[in-house]
Structure 1
Amino acid sequence: MKWKVLINTSKSKCIHFRPSRQTRSNYKFNLGLEEIDTVESYKYLGVIFQEHCKFDNTANTLSTVARRAFGSVISKLYILKEFGFKTFMKLYEACVVPITDYGAAIWGYKSHNSLEMIENRAMRFLLGDHRFTSLLGMSGDSGSIPCTQRRRIKMFQLWNRLLSLDDDRLTKKVFENDFCCATSNKNWCADMKVLFEKLNLSDYYTNKLSININVVKSKMWTYVAESWHVKLSNSPKLRTYAVFKNEFKTENYLVFNLPRNERSILAQFRCGVLPLRVETGRFIGEKLEDRTCQMCAHNCIEDEKHFILSCSLYSDLRQYWFNEATSDLQSSQMQDNDRLIYLMNNLPRRCAKFLTRAFLRPRNKLFN
């Protein structure tokens, strides 16, 4: 009555936020003479609040919209025929990320498969990899922070915002109450406490201090890179990839804007999913030692090293595309691993062109 605001009771709902093991309250709430319905969830400003404090419905709703937006981006890129890494990332960050990260400062602590699948699909489209490609390899080549960590940065931004509010603001009072209950209850402040601890920034949480977002981004990047290195060392699928990839960063072959077919072949080769016998033999249950190259008489396993360094079927292509480095590559002091590192890190353009032409040669030989 103080502000003479008319409230639409048909759109006003009541939610009892509680743990799933606790029963719903029996209290009835009225607005004037009208009783307000108690519901399981309510959509407010695009975020769906659920009575058990879960945001799966929000993530699923956003993912549906984001898929349509990403489909629109893909259709535009197909018209362009050829596009670069920066072009793709600019379109993706402008058209898709604002949807997938909407309201993430509230619900972004947990990962959601429906949203992660969109980012994985985007990486596959950019690199030209298929669905069996290791996500670890694709993220290492793109050098991008996972979407879950990106959303957690927004939580730090909200943390700074809450600390700057006046004490008489209702939002600030709720924050202070959550902060006091964080040790005993699972709430937003408890999630923030875990994030501060992961990034070795506990003092900021304990003393309720604002933090420079650039510091958060730097710490988050370090955390992601370290986690990536640990997972890479424990991945037998990427044993060859780990030989020449030792730094979490965007690879040069993406920045160089290679043609799509060359970028795709090189990405598949790097991630170990190019259809060589070391890979295709797994599909029929062959032992590793039986997956020998059928294109030459070396009787060696047809893996990535043999394909790019040794197989005699591609000797002329190897001589043509790597002529500047031939003497170095044939040096007796260089081991196969050293040769592979040299080619991947120093000659990505030439590697892409060699792989594109070499990959077609066995087919031509078989069919002719």
Structure 2
Amino acid sequence: FFGDQILEIVNKYKYLGIYLTKRLTFSPTLDDLASRARKGMLAIVKLLWSIGEHSPEIFFKMFDSQIQPILTYGSEIWGLSDNQECIERVHLSALKKFMGVSSKSPRHLIYGETGRYPLYVHTYARCIKFWLRLTCMDDKRYPRKAYNMLLNLQRQNYNTWACSIRNVLYKFGFGVVWEMQGVGDVKSFIKEFKQRLIDCFKQDWHSALESHDFYNVYSNFNHSLVRSPYLSLLNNISVRRVFAR
């Protein structure tokens, strides 16, 4: 009850665009974001096709400014979750539709042709940036109080958001930042952190091409994660589709 009013008991509740659940999982939130972003992505694709615009620069710019913010909404909190596949599927689907290739095309080839990186590069960076903001807050502020509680639970070996921050920093070679609980120049550090994520992804991408026979032919003529020139040079969309396939 709230006063004399009976409160409904539900399994999940949407608050400020984020689903709060009884199981403390972000899956409903990610599914909702992916669903809304997919509708927006299809609308952009139809719009560009209707006006005959096939430039990769314009398509990627519109995706990054209109769709990516939807996909990464609230990622300061859920951005280190392992179950972000539904988010990345929307990203890959957009790239495949732009190139005109099959929906079953391997993601490594899509990244290689477009020179794009998975969205976790952005969600991880947003999490770390938010964490750095928390470490600079006054102890009297509620977000800082909440973080201090998570920090104490993490020190007692509970798996918390603070624990995920620590693990990511150590994983990518920034353990000292966690131990110091902050950095001097936040902007420079976030830039370095994102570059480290990209470098690690490039290494994984090269390893995938080398370790699977399926990529033998492709790896003979593409060795870098840089957008293929033909995407911009071939103005005839039908020819570009055939070339991509």
Q: TM-score, normalised by structure 1?
A: 0.61
Distance 2:133 2:100 in 1: 40
Letter in 1 for 2:239: E
Which blocks of at least 5 consecutive residues in structure 2 are unaligned? none
Determine whether 1:86 maps to 2:78. no
Q: Which position in structure 1 is the counterpart of 2:134?
A: 162
Q: Distance in 2 between matches of 1:56 and 1:136?
A: 25
In the other structure, the counterpart of 2:158 is 185
For residues 3-14 of structure 1, the aligned pairs below 5 Å read none
Q: Which amino acid aligns with 1:224?
A: F
- The one-letter code matched in structure 2 to 1:204 is V
Note closer, same or farther for the CA distance 1:256–1:92 as it changes in structure 2 (3 Å cut).
same
- Partner residue of 1:208 out of 181, 184, 188: 181
* Percent of pairs with identical residues: 21
**1:191–1:34: structure 2 CA closer, same or farther, 3 Å change rule?**
same
Contact 2:12 2:21 in 1 (8 A): yes
What SS is found at the alignment partner of 1:96? helix
Once the two structures are superposed, residues 174-232 of structure 1 have per-residue CA deviations (whole angstroms, 9 ceiling, x without a partner) of 11121232251121111111211221111111211134211111111111111111111
Distance (Å, rounded) in 2 between the aligned partners of 1:133 and 1:166: 49
Q: Is the 8 A contact 2:121 2:194 kept in 1?
A: no
Verify: 1:115 aligned to 2:92, yes or no: no
Please provide the CA RMSD for this pair: 1.9
Is 1:98 aligned with 2:77? no
Report the Cα offset of residue 33 of structure 1: 5.5
Q: Does the CA contact (< 8 Å) of 1:84 and 1:257 recur in 2? A: no
Q: Give 1:116 shift.
A: 2.1
Higher helix share: 2
1:246 corresponds to 2:218: no
| 1:270-281 map, 5 Å | none
Residue 32 (structure 1) shift: 4.6
Deviations 1:279-307 (A, max 9, x none): xxxxxxxxxxxxxxxxxxxxxxxxxxxxx
- Is 1:134 the counterpart of 2:134? The answer is no
Which residue identity does 1:83 align to in structure 2? H
TM-score (norm 2): 0.90
Cα distance between partner residues in 1 of 2:230 and 2:15: 44
For residue 170 of structure 2, the aligned residue among 190, 197, 205 is: 197
Letter in 2 for 1:119: H
Match for residue 204 of structure 2? 227
Q: Give the CA deviation at 1:55.
A: 0.6
Q: Distance in 2 between matches of 1:45 and 1:66?
A: 17
2:242 match: 265
Question: Which residue type is aligned with residue 126 of structure 1?
Answer: F
- Distance in 2, matches of 1:31 and 1:148, equals 40
Partner of 1:241, secondary structure, is helix
Q: Give the distance between the partners of 2:99 and 2:164, measured in 1 at CA.
A: 34
Contact kept? 1:82, 1:260, Cα under 8 Å: no
Query: Whole-Å Cα distance in 2 between the matches of residues 105 and 74 of structure 1?
Result: 28
Structure 1: unaligned runs, 5 residues or longer: 1-29, 269-368
Q: Is the contact made by 1:109 and 1:151 (CA closer than 8 Å) also made in structure 2?
A: yes
Alignment map for 1:291-306 (pairs within 5 Å): none
In the alignment, the residues of structure 2 paired with residue 89 and residue 247 of structure 1 have an alpha-carbon distance, to the nearest angstrom, of 19
Bigger relative contact order, structure 1 or 2 (CA pairs below 8 A, ≥6 apart): 2
